[in-house]
């Protein structure tokens, strides 16, 4: 797959260092929803039990996917970027129960009949896919009462809906551009409810103490019994 978006994310991958070997607690795998190390909640947000199935939309180099596999879940990751998945396969080759696919998240869901106990996305495909398309697809592939959670940067005030995201290339090249979707927490809550999700919560986790001002938007929702907009039975 070599479309413009996967090439853009391959470029991102080349400039992105691997996750640290251990976190502040000395653990070799862990879950992080935020852009800061050792910050915010962990995998408990997904309310999963060993044996459950979970899909990571835009898994990147697979740190969170691997962690859930070590907890005993069937942990599936999908990502557009071959380079990101190469990193994941190299770093987590010893982790069982982990499955990786190179695909656009929507295309993967569209081609699969699998249902998951939970889906999530950490600064991943949920940020970079039109929610009008993604939310019905996620709903259709979640088991009843399955959890969908995603994190991303909060919007810049006044900049809502589809925005341009720039991925730097070489010093003499224009950056690659991908689209992302930004809304305030209250708007995300309405959008998810309109698409048939219940128990919806959206909030901004404050940044760690210090000079950083940007927190982490965390949105969590449960699959309701009806997909309000998709026409699903």
Ligand X SMILES: C[S@@+](CC[C@H](N)C(=O)[O-])C[C@H]1O[C@@H](n2cnc3c(N)ncnc32)[C@H](O)[C@@H]1O
Q: Burial level of 230, CB count in 10 A (0-12/13-18/19+)?
A: middle
Nearer residue to ligand X within complex by CB, 122 or 217:
122
Shorter beta-carbon distance to ligand X: residue 133 or 190: 133
CB of 25 to ligand X, least distance (A): 19
Instruction: Find the shortest distance in angstroms from Cβ 198 to ligand X.
Output: 25
Cβ–Cβ contacts within 10 Å for residue 213, how many?
7
The greatest distance separating any two alpha carbons of the chain, rounded to the nearest whole angstrom, comes to 52
Q: Are 65 and 59 in contact (CB under 8 A)?
A: yes
Quote the least distance from Cβ 88 to ligand X, whole Å. 9
Q: Which one, 6 or 74, has the nearer CB to ligand X?
A: 6
Q: What are phi and psi of 180, to 5 degrees?
A: -135, 165
User: What is the nearest approach in angstroms of ligand X to the Cβ of residue 80?
Assistant: 4
Q: Judged by CB, which is closer to ligand X: 128, or 197?
A: 128
Residue closest to ligand X when measured from CB atoms: 60
- Of 38 and 199, the one with the shorter C-beta distance to ligand X is 38
**Minimum distance, C-beta of residue 59 to ligand X, in the bound complex (Å):** 6
Give every CB contact of residue 54 below 8 A, 6+ residues apart in sequence: 46, 48, 68, 73, 74, 75, 76, 116, 117, 118, 119, 120
Contacts with ligand X, residue ranges (CB under 6 A): 9, 58-60, 78-81, 84, 104-105, 122-125, 128-129
Main-chain dihedrals φ then ψ at residue 186, nearest 5 degrees: -65, -35
CA distance 134 to 125: 9
């Amino acid at each position: 797959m070599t479309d413009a978006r996967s090439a853009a994310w391959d470029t991102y991958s080349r400039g992105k260092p691997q996750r640290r070997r251990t976190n502040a607690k000395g653990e070799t795998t862990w879950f992080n929803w935020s852009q800061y190390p050792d910050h915010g909640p962990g995998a408990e947000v997904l309310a999963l039990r060993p044996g459950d199935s979970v899909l990571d939309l835009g898994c990147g180099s697979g740190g969170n996917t691997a962690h859930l596999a070590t907890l005993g879940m069937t942990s599936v990751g999908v990502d557009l970027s071959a380079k990101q998945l190469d990193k994941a396969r190299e770093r987590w080759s010893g982790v069982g129960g982990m499955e990786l696919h190179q695909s656009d998240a929507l295309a993967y869901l569209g081609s699969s009949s699998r249902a998951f106990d939970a889906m999530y996305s950490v600064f991943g495909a949920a940020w970079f896919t039109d929610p009008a398309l993604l939310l019905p697809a996620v709903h259709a592939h979640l088991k009843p009462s399955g959890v969908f959670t995603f994190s991303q940067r909060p919007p810049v005030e006044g900049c809502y809906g589809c925005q341009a995201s720039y991925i730097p290339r070489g010093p003499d090249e224009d950056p690659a551009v991908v689209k992302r979707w930004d809304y305030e927490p209250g708007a995300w809550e309405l959008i998810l409810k309109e698409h048939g999700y219940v128990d919806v919560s959206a909030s901004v986790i404050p940044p760690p103490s210090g000079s950083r001002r940007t927190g982490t938007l965390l949105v969590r929702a449960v699959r309701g019994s009806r997909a309000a907009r998709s026409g699903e039975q």
